[in-house]
Amino acid sequence: MVLDFITGLGGYLLPFLVVLTVLVFVHEMGHYLVARWNGVRIEVFSIGFGPEIKGWNDSLGTRWKICWIPFGGYVKVFGDSDGASRPDGEALRELSDDERAVSFHHKRLGQRAAIVAAGPIANFVYAIVVLAAMYMAFGQRVTPAEIGRVIENGAGQLAGFREGDIVLSIDGDDIHRFEQFEQTVFLNAERPLSFQIRRAGRELTLNATPKLVEKADRQGIKHKFGDLGVWPANPAIVGKVFEDSPAALAGFKVGDRILAIDGEVVDNFERLQDTVAASKGRRMAVAVLRDGAEMRLHAAARRDVAADETDNSERWLIGILRAQRAPVRLGPGDAVIQATGTSYDMLVQTLAYVGQMISGQRGTEDLGGPIRIAHASGQAAQVGVEQLIMLSILLSLNLGMINLFPIPILDGGHLLFYGFEAILRRPLTERVQEFAFRIGLALVLSLTVFATWNDLINLRVVEFFAGLFS
């Protein structure tokens, strides 16, 4: 049991360290490049903290190093007392004119602000550039904002939604993809929303209030979110047939479009799943469209018990997966525009999520730390490189956003100090800055400990180790 745990840990730890190292390097390289551009001497460029594993000096006198504690990094500019960019007041007063010329703290206010802001901006640029490259290389997957199914007695049905409705806007904000519709509904549980839709060529306004639902994921972590009980329009097209499954034995093939089961029309994949589940193993006559010709196949679903740590649910399956919509490859210009828009949507959603936690509308169970990020990295790596890259994009956006929070010790805290300096026409005193840094450090450490404890509880790490001795 312990050996399995250690082996599994390696499958999560390596992808996590790779992703984290790339993002930290991008962030610190943003600081480094803008500092160099403004004539600042860089003393240390470090990936990680603590004792040095490997290091070297370049021709400009910068020490490049990799350290044992991988959770972060820093660029130490000339004139700092440490990697947190706290000024060394006594040393700064004793600098020669030549040293002042390359000292960070003797640069103009605008230059210092640009150097500090460059790290988070680099993370945003990374996300946009990599996402645009993926759109050009692999294409963009887009689900049209069309309603394919309305759940009976759901909030959507009660509000008047129908299959075939196309969502145009929500509370005045344009909707172009079903993902945008889901994001807005997800974040607005129990809050009335106004939907502009197109139905049979006419535009209508529907008012609906998403229900607050709670659901556990595969790890047993419970999440609360808004739900209207509507699904996108997903044609029931076979994307994969599992070996030795009822579908394989019945002769299903990839690309088959399922039209009806026992004479009942199947207009989307969700209705197919419900019909199969309701069959309870009964033999079904399935009408499919293959290469333009309609044919009939017969299959009986096989019972499967999906058991996780929180629930046992009975399922009936025939052994197929839906076909994914073909991604559309974009040109460079469109790719950058779409990548920028997607990155903006991700940031808005994350900020709204954080705001709901702060206001008490949402619990803190979704606040994750390094362990959950490592877990997500491992899962993404198991799915494929594309999924791992998408996770790195999301994490890069979050890293840039968090670093802009006005907390002393973070980049946003330094920018806050510069804002006061611009207003007061002088820097804050060393004593005030030192006090603020200590508060910021205590706050960051407290949040890190809390998030890590959240991870240990939600991912059942504590429960696992407790079980070893019980």
Residue 403 in contact with residue 122, Cβ under 8 Å?
no
Catalytic residue, from 28, 90, 179, 243: name it.
28
CA distance 240 to 322: 7
For residues 150-158, average pLDDT: 89
The length of the chain, given as a count of residues = 470
Span 266-277, pLDDT tens digits: 877 878 888 898
Q: How much is the pLDDT for 4? A: 46
Lowest mean pLDDT among 99-103, 345-349, 395-399, 455-459: 455-459
163 is catalytic: no
Expressed in angstroms, the distance from the first to the final Cα of the chain is 14
Q: How confident is the model at residue 177 (pLDDT cuts 50, 70, 90)?
A: confident
Q: Is the pLDDT of residue 9 over 60?
A: no
Q: How confident is the model at residue 222 (pLDDT cuts 50, 70, 90)?
A: low
Tokens 């929070």: give the residue.
Answer: 405
Q: How much is the pLDDT for 13? A: 80
CA 97 to chain centre: 47
Q: How much is the pLDDT for 260? A: 92
Strand partners, 303: 316
Q: Which residues contact 469 (CB under 8 A, 6 or more apart)?
A: none
For residues 424-440, average pLDDT: 87
Q: What is the DSSP track for 46-63?
A: EEEEEEEEEEEE-TTS-E
Whose CA is closest to 270, among 145, 152, 189? 152
CA distance 105 to 178: 49
Question: How many CB atoms sit inside 10 A of residue 175's CB?
Answer: 19
Which DSSP helix (H) or strand (E) runs through 241? strand 238-241
Span 11-37, pLDDT tens digits: 678 888 888 899 999 999 999 999 999
CA distance 126 to 343: 10
**pTM, two decimal places:** 0.77
For residues 46-54, average pLDDT: 91
Span 374-393, pLDDT tens digits: 777 777 777 778 888 888 99
Residue 395 in contact with residue 72, Cβ under 8 Å?
no
Q: How much is the pLDDT for 197? A: 94
| Packing angle of the helix pair 461-468, 430-458 (nearest 10 deg) | 60
Q: How much is the pLDDT for 183? A: 87
- E runs forming strands in 58-183: 63-77, 147-150, 166-170, 173-174
CA distance 470 to 467: 5
Residue type, 109: L
Span 392-427, pLDDT tens digits: 999 999 999 999 999 988 999 999 999 999 999 998
Which is more confident, 1 or 406? 406
Residue type, 354: V
